Structure 1
Amino acid sequence: MTAARPTILAETLTWSFRLLFALVAALAGMWLVRGIQRVPPENRAVVMRFGQVVRTAGPGLLLTWPSPIDSVVLLPSQGRQVQFAPEALESRSPLDERIAGAPGQGFIASDNARDNTWFFLTGDGAVVHLRTMLFYQIDDPVAYIIAGDHIEPMLRRALIAAAVQLCARRSLDGILVARPEAAGAPRLVAQRERFAAELVQAVNQRLSQASGQGSGIGIQVARIDVVPSIPGGAKESFDTVLTVEQQAERSLADARTTAEARRQIAEQGRQTLIDEARARAEESVRTAQARTALVLSLGRDPSLDRRTIVERTYRDRIKSLFDIAGKIETVPVTSQAHTFIFGASP
C-alpha cells in the first residue's frame, strides 16, 4: 500500500501537468488565431507594433502578432474618398441652425468675430458665406496615422486660408449670382465654374507645403462642394440696391432718349435753316446776275464803244418805261413845259 501511493500521486501530477499544458496550448492557439484578420476590399491595413508603424497591407488575409504586440488600423483604400465637413468643428448656436434651415434666409454674422469663420470678404468689398463639404483620399497611410487628431484641424485651416485668398481675388458676382444683369457675363460665369476647382488646388498646395516642411498628413483633397450664399439680412439690401440701380438706369435711358429726340429736332431745324439760307443766297445771286447780265454782256463785246453801250442801255431801259406807260405826250426841248407820262389804267 505504501509503494502504491507515490505512483498514484505521480500519475495525478503527470495528468495535471498535461491538462495544464493542453490548456495553455489551447489558450496560446486561441491567442495566435486572433492575429489572423481579413482586410475588406474597400480598406487597407496599417500594422503597428507597440505603437510603431511596421508595415501596411492591402485587402486579403493579414497575419500579425495578436494584441498587445501588434495592432491593426483599417483605413479606406486609396481610391476611396473620405468626407469631411469643416463646419462640424465649429460651435454653432441654435439661432444659426434655425436661420440656416429657413428657406430664403442666410447665415447671420455674430458679434463675436470667432464665430464668423466662414464669412469671407470679396474683392469688391462684399461679404459671402461659404458652406463647404470636403472629400479627400489617403495617399500616405503612415503619415495619416502619425498625424492622427491633427488632420481635421489642419484641413480646416488650409481650407479657410485658401478661401480667404480666392475670395479676395473675385467680386461677389464671380462667386455667386448676386446681380441678375451680370449673371450671364462670360468672365463671371467662368470664375464661378472654376471657384471650387481652384479652391481644391489651393488647399492641396498648402498641404504640399506642409509635407515639404515635415508636417504632412498624408492626404490629397479630391473634391470640395461649395454652397455660397449672401449673409442673412443682406438680401433685402441687395434687392433695394438693384431696384435703385434699375430705376437709375431707366431714368438715364429716358434722359438719353429725350436728349436724342431733341438733338434730332435741332438737327432738322439747323438743316432747314441752312437750306433756306442757301436758297435765298442762290436767289439773290441769280437776281444779281440777271440785273448785271446786260452790262456784262456789253462789256465783253470789244467792238462796242462807250457811246454805243450807253445808247443801247438807254433803249433797253426806255422800253421798259414805254411798256408801263399808257400815254406819252412830247414837247419841244426849247420849251419850258414838262413832260407827263400817264400810266396804264389799273
Structure 2
Amino acid sequence: MKQDELQSGLLGDVLTWSFRLLFALVALLMLAWGATGVSRVSPGNQAVVTRFGQIARVRGPGLLLTWPAPVEHVTLLPSGSRQVQFSPESLEQDRSQVRSEADSTTYGFDVSDDARQNTWFFMTGDGGLVHLKVMVFYQITDPAAWLIAADHIEPALRRAVIAAAVSTCASRDLDGILVARPERAGEASFVAKRESFRTDLVSLINSRLATNGGAGLGIRVARADVVASIPSGAKAAFDNVLSVSQQVERVVAQARTAAELRRQASVQSKENALDQARALAQETVNTAEAKSAFVRALGNQPGMSRQTVLNQLYRERAGSVLGLVDKVDVVPIHATSILYSVTSP
C-alpha cells in the first residue's frame, strides 16, 4: 500500500515537473517568437510592415516593434535619400551588343542585322546614329507603391529610359550629344546641348514615370550616367569626311588667296590707269590754259572792249601784211581818192 502511494507520488512529481518543464519550454518559445517582432532599422534604410499581406505602415531608421511572423512581415528598403543603381541593359536577354576584343581598336558598337538587337541605337535629329550606354540612379519616394509594383519597377524603368532617350536624341544633332566633328566641337550651341543632355534625359524619364498609366511606381530618377558612342565604322567615315573637309578648306583658301592677289593686281592696274588719265587730263588742261592765256589776259584788262580787241588784232596783223609790200604811199584821210602804189618785191 505504501509502495503504491510512493509510486503514485513519484508519478505525480514527474508529471508535475514535466508540465512545468513543458510550460517553461513553451514560454521560452513564446518569448523567442515574440522577440522576432523586435528589429532594428539601420540608417539609410526604411521598413515597410505588411500584416497578412496588406501594407500596415512605413517606418524609418530606429527600433521597430511588430507582430511576429506570420502576422506581420517587415521589408527593408533603401531610404529616400539613397540612390539605387540600375542598368537597363541588364534586362537584355542577348548581350551581343557588347564590344568584342577584336573590335577594341574601333570606336563604338556594332549594328546588328536583327533590329531587336539594336535597342540602344538611337536616331538623332540630323539623321545620325548614336549608341547610348545608360546607368540610372533612382530614389524610392513612396515605399508602399514601390513594394506593390516591385516586380515591374525595372521593366517599367527600362521602357521609360528608352522612350526618353528616343525623344532626347531626336531633338538634337549628333554633335549635340557627343563630339563627332572636331571642327564643330567648340560651337556654343552644341556645347550647351551636350551639357544639358543628361539633365533633359532625367527630366523626361521622371515625366514618363509620373504618367505611367496613372499608377505610380514610387521612384524618382536622381541622375543618369550616359556614355555615347557612334557605331563601328562610322569613325572612319567621319575621318574621311574630315579629310575631305580639310582638303576643301585648303582649296578654298588657295582660291581665296589667288582671288585676293588678282584683286590687288586689278586695283593696282586701276590706280595706274587713273593716274595716267589724271596726268593726261592735267596736261590737256594746262595746254588749253596756255592757249587761252592771251584771251583771258585781254579779258581781264579793265576797259577792254570789242573794238579795242579788233584794233589790237588789226595792228598785229597789219604789220605782217604790210611787210609783204615794197612801197606804201599814204594820203590824207579826207582825200576824195586814194592811190595805192604797190610794188611787188
Q: Please give the range of the TM-score, normalised by the shorter of the 2 chains.
A: 0.7 to 0.9
DSSP 3-state at the match of 1:96: coil
2:97 and 2:117 in contact (8 A); partners too: no
Q: How many residues align?
A: 323
For 2:214, what is the secondary structure of its paired residue? coil
Deviations 1:160-210 (CA, angstroms, capped at 9, x unpaired): 111111111111111111111211112211111111111111111222223
Alignment gaps of 5+ in structure 1 = 319-327, 338-346
Q: 5+ unaligned residues in a row in structure 2: which ranges?
A: 328-341
2:42 is aligned with 1:33: no
Q: d(CA) in 2 for partners of 1:176 and 1:305?
A: 96
**Which deviations, in whole Å up to 9, do the C-alpha atoms of 1:253-304 show, x marking residues without a partner?**
1111111110111011012112211211221122122123223444563161
Question: Contact between 1:43 and 1:76, CA under 8 Å: does it hold in 2?
Answer: yes
**In structure 2, what is the equivalent of residue 265 of structure 1?**
265
Deviation at 1:17, TM superposition (A): 3.3
Quick one: distance in 1 between partners of 2:318 and 2:98?
A: 114
Distance (whole Å) between structure 1 residues aligned to residue 175 and residue 318 of structure 2: 92
Does structure 2 retain, via aligned residues, the 8 Å contact 1:99–1:105?
no
Q: What amino acid sits opposite 2:113 in the alignment?
A: D
Shift of 1:27: 1.9
User: Any idea what SS the aligned residue of 1:107 has?
Assistant: coil
1:304 matched to 2:308: yes
Letter in 2 for 1:237: A
- Identity over the aligned pairs, expressed in percent? 54
SS at match of 1:98: coil
> 1:103: how far off?
5.0
CA contact under 8 A between 1:99 and 1:108: conserved in structure 2?
A: no
The aligned residue for residue 279 of structure 1 is: 279
TM-aligned CA deviation for residue 76 of structure 1: 0.8
The alpha-carbon deviation at position 73 of structure 1 amounts to 0.8
Contact kept in structure 2, 1:129 and 1:229, CA below 8 Å: yes
1:13 & 1:188 partners in 2: Cα distance? Answer: 90
1-structure distance, mates of 2:203, 2:96: 34
Picking from 71, 74, 79, the partner of 2:73 is 71
Equivalent residues in 2 for 1:129-140 (5 A)?
Answer: 129-140=131-142
Measured against aligned partners, the alpha-carbon deviations of 1:42-91 in whole angstroms (never above 9, x if no partner) come to 21111111211111111122121222222111111111111111111123
User: Is 2:99–2:110's contact at 8 Å kept on the other side of the alignment?
Assistant: no
> What does residue 172 of structure 1 align with?
174
CA distance in 2, matches of 1:82, 1:100: 34
Distance in 1 (alpha carbons) for counterparts of 2:47 and 2:127: 49
Partner Cα distance (1:214, 1:297) in 2: 110
Give the residue type in structure 2 aligned to 1:172.
L
Q: TM-score, normalising length from structure 1? A: 0.85
3-state SS, counterpart of residue 304 of structure 1: helix
Distance in 1 (CA, whole Å) between partners of 2:109 and 2:326 is: 122
3-state SS of 2:186 partner: coil
Give distance in 2, aligned partners of 1:47 and 1:313. 142
8 A contact 1:131–1:227 mirrored in 2:
yes
Instruction: Give TM-score scaled by structure 2 length.
Output: 0.85
Report the counterpart of residue 49 of structure 1 in structure 2.
51
Tell me how large the CA RMSD over aligned residues is: 2.5
Q: Distance in 2 between matches of 1:227 and 1:185?
A: 21
**1:228 partner amino acid:** A
| 1:102 Cα deviation after fit | 2.0
